[in-house]
Structure 1
Amino acid sequence: MAKRTFGTVDRLPSGRFRARYRGPDGRRHAEVFSTRADAWAWLATQQTDLLRKSWRAPTSKRPTVVEYAEDYLARTDLRESTRLLYSGLWRHHLAGPWADVPVDEITPAAVRAWHAKTGQATGPTALARSYRLLRAILNIAVADEAIASNPCRLRGAGTPKASRPSRALTAAEALQLAEQLGRDRRTERYRALVLVVAFGGLRFGEATALRRSDVLPGGRLRVERSVRRLGGRWVVGEPETDAGHRTVTLPAAIAAALEDHLEKHVPDSPDALLFTTSSGGYLARSNWNSTFRRAAGATGLLAV
């Protein structure tokens, strides 16, 4: 391939490509493109116009938030579950107010106004996650030198503020709640779930992703996946950290309760889920919360 002598193309931190050349007006002109080929094609057009003496100084297109959001969501180092989470946050909380806004028009005051308005319509966790995503998107614009600094400067906005304090169940409370669930044939299938979470130290998504093959001899449980619902579908992934891959040993009484659960509620297939809905599907956190609150109320336990 012949060496190109007109203009330059360089790859930006966002993964996009910036084409630049010096025009007859003595100024450097630049445009940003998704592919290197598009960048060189634009330079070729500018060079042709110069040779034909029909060149006019191009009006630079100001990059918008959606362009950087698309770049961020297309990153290859994002876990699929994270990509789905971020895509949902973008659609529901960020795209409407920000998508078509040029990044150099966003001010700290505009971010504060968006944060206050969004906080009236959504929960603290979704708000904090959306703010962190917007900040990460605009960090790419900073790296690309499209803006001098990130306008997301709200102290503590990336950390969700709990609406009320929460605590873990004590061992006695877990046993009491499990007993209450076991009294009702509609909820008896969740008795072992409470015991495994409380005495095995599992997160809800880890417990509801367990399969029969994860139950090992000696009252041990192998934890190597987690499940959650994102974008309207179930996403099964690995634990977020290496420490999440582990084997836990249950107390003898809890292991016996789990064995009883296996006999009553879990098919013989090694891939059969341990804790499911009555129809055999993944157990949604929202459904479980309803069951939990009813049982906790019946036993006189405070919400935890």
Structure 2
Amino acid sequence: MPQGRAATCGARALDAGVGPATVSKAYQVLRAILNTAVDDGLIERNPCRVKGAGTVTHTERPFLSVPEVYRLTDAVPPHCRALVLLAAFAALRFGELAALQRRDIDLEARTVSVRRSYAETRTDGLTVKASKSAAGVRTVAFPASLVPELAHHLAEHAEAGRTGLVFVGARGGVLRRNNFRRIWLRALASNGLGDVHFHDLRHTGNTLAATGGATTRELMQRMGHSSVRAALVHQHLVNGRDHQIADYVARQIRKVRRPPRGPSGT
């Protein structure tokens, strides 16, 4: 494959709507295969020599203000309010939220335990999986401001039983990303918000926690991220600091939100 043809294929993929990261990874795989072919004497020279083709620059994702988060919660159906709030103020992933069970929520301690995640692929369909890393299994403190919201949600919308799902779809099934996407896009449109992904809510929670003085290690624990240094995975937060972070987020919420609704929804 001549160098020019490789560049043309990449350009065509981008024009067809394939993401830059996907195109970059495909180029890296092709280049590695052809490097092996050179080493084996099958070809004389690797044609994948387009400068910068194997790298991608990630654009900075937006984060929402606390008032914007609450405007979104007002624009989604009632059974999705707590989903948005936990994503924003506890920095949970969509798959982690969809797999939460009642036993994972401790309203008294104000914590949510992340033990599993839902994943959906074309080949395997919807499956429950363990976290990719030890850091993904974690317990995260959430702001006290969310306790009434979560209590109301558990009473009105969650499945029954300790292992009942906290979040379900409109028809009572497992909450699926594709179905929720329609709800999310309508909420964005009604608030005049543009290119905001649901995953950006995690960025919002991370930014709020950082503003509250969280250290890098504390942010990693809340987000469920692994470090290059494996030792950090096994380190623990200083007692009380995670709740201090959540309390700071709660103060930001109280500045802009109305009084919390009670268990009856009033």
**Common fold by TM > 0.5:** yes
| Structure 1 residues 1-304: aligned runs within 5 Å | 106-124=1-19, 125-138=21-34, 141=37, 146-147=42-43, 150-159=46-55, 166-181=61-76, 187-216=77-106, 217-232=108-123, 233-304=125-196
Counterpart position of 1:67: none
User: In 2, are the aligned partners of 1:215 and 1:222 still within 8 Å (CA)?
Assistant: yes
| Larger Cα-atom Rg | 1
Q: Deviations over 1:109-155 (max 9, x none)?
A: 33222212222223214433433443454455456565566543444
Structure number with greater CO (CA < 8 Å, separation at least 6) is 2
**Following TM superposition, by how much is the alpha carbon of 1:276 offset from its aligned partner in structure 2, in angstroms?**
2.5
CA distance in 1, matches of 2:53, 2:174: 33
Contact 1:209 1:227 in 2 (8 A): yes
Mapped contact 2:158–2:168 kept (Cα < 8 A): no
Q: Higher strand proportion, which one?
A: 1
Q: What is the distance in 1 between the residues matched to 2:194 and 2:112?
A: 29
Q: Name the SS for the 2:119 alignment partner.
A: strand
For normalisation by structure 2, the TM-score amounts to: 0.61
Q: Distance in 2 between matches of 1:237 and 1:224?
A: 9
Contiguous gaps of at least 5 residues in structure 2: 197-266
Whole-Å separation in 2 of the counterparts to 1:197 and 1:191? 10
RMSD: 2.8
C-alpha change, 1:139 and 1:296, in structure 2 (3 Å) is: same
User: Percent identical across equivalent pairs?
Assistant: 35
Amino acid across the alignment from 2:190: A
Question: What TM-score comes out, normalization by structure 1 length?
Answer: 0.54
Structure 1 unmatched ranges of 5 or more: 1-105, 182-186
Number of residue-to-residue matches in the alignment: 193
Distance in 1 of aligned mates of 2:128 and 2:36: 29
